[in-house]
Amino acid sequence: MKLVTWNAQWCKGIDGLVSPERIVAGARALADFDVLCLQEISQNYPKLTGHTPRDQPAEIARLLPGFEVVFGAAINEQPAASAPAQRFGNLIASRLPILQIQHFRLPSPVGSIDSIAPHSWMPRVCTVCTVQARWGPVRVMTTHLEYHSHTQRLAQAQALRQIHQELCDVSQYPPIVLPDETGTPYQAKPHTGDAVLCGDFNFEPHSEPYRALATAATEPTPTGASHALLDAWLLAHPDKSHPPTFRLYDDRYGPNAVSCDFCFLSESVAPRLKNITVDTSTQVSDHQPLMIELM
């Protein structure tokens, strides 16, 4: 199973050109992926997409025949009764069968020390698709955390950890399903502890939000398990620094390139990691894509 994650910046390259075709081609150049996770995908925001197709989820679906495309909108607004809805968020495309789709809203606390001065921020979500891998169901989770607020980013990292914890617990203690509930909302679900969490986290390695997400929880769980999330790069390259994934070719947000795009693996998936790669050469987004291969 090969997975590519990429903050596509509404498919806008360093050269200012908006092109979903270049994003899909760039992801394919990195790997013949089974799952593609994109962040910052736009739907009907003409100031972002210009004269290119404004419905980027539909355009990406057109470019990926044989894939099922799921769009998780963090923002969903209706500018006028006759205008199409405007949405912005995460996208998962999978050629593996999708067994279940979930969307989790992440917290955005504003009554905090870093909100004394007004600043930009937007709602955030985690989009989840449970896919059928060769060995069984795998929960693919992709997200994009707040850039402008450390407090919101930390709260969102803690929430992601709690979401993973709860879903792992449910996989070990699933709800009872009665025989006559097949074909109803109570029917059996593909609960699993196998998980990949990826995306643009807007934090750097070993920062406080990173530790909140990647360090085992201290609170006991109903199963007594920690359900740790492990950094795939460090699993594969324990003696190497994370490669830069942001500001490598664009210094508008700061002078130094940083690592803020990651893949985290559940303990059950970690032994399956075969390879992890970052494309540090492409410039068709302001972020660099990352690929993991699981066996």
216-243 per-position pLDDT tens digit: 544 554 555 568 999 999 999 999 999 9
Cα–Cα distance measured from residue 127 to residue 31, given in angstroms and rounded to the nearest whole number: 22
Is residue 261 a contact partner of residue 246, using CB atoms and an 8 Å limit? yes
- 29's tokens: 């150049």
pLDDT above 50: residue 89: yes
SS3 65: coil
Q: What is the reported pLDDT for 225?
A: 55
Q: What percent of the chain has pLDDT over 90?
A: 86
pLDDT value, residue 138 = 98
Within 13 Å of residue 88, how many CA atoms lie on the same side as its CB? 20
Give residue 151's pLDDT band: very low, low, confident or very high (50, 70, 90).
Answer: very high
- Kindly report the number of other CB atoms within 10 A of residue 91's CB atom: 23
Tell me the C-alpha distance between 1 and 18, whole Å.
29
pTM listed for this prediction: 0.94
The structural domains of the chain, ordered by start, are 2-172+188-294 (3.60.10.10)
Give the pLDDT of residue 223.
52
- Give the pLDDT score at 9: 97
Q: Which amino acid is at 262?
A: F
pLDDT one-digit tens code per residue, 76-88: 999 887 788 999 9
C-alpha–C-alpha distance, residues 98 and 229, integer Å: 22
57: confidence class by pLDDT, cuts 50, 70, 90: very high
132 Cβ contact list (under 8 Å, min separation 6) = 96, 97, 98, 99, 138
Strand partners, 263: 198
Answer yes or no: are the C-beta atoms of 290 and 277 closer than 8 Å.
yes
Model confidence at 94, pLDDT cuts 50, 70, 90, reads: very high
pLDDT (0 to 100) of residue 118 = 73
Handedness of CA 263, 265, 215, 146 (dihedral sign): positive
Least confident of 31-40, 187-196, 207-216: 207-216
**Quick one: average pLDDT of 33-62?**
96
Whole-number pLDDT of residue 114: 61
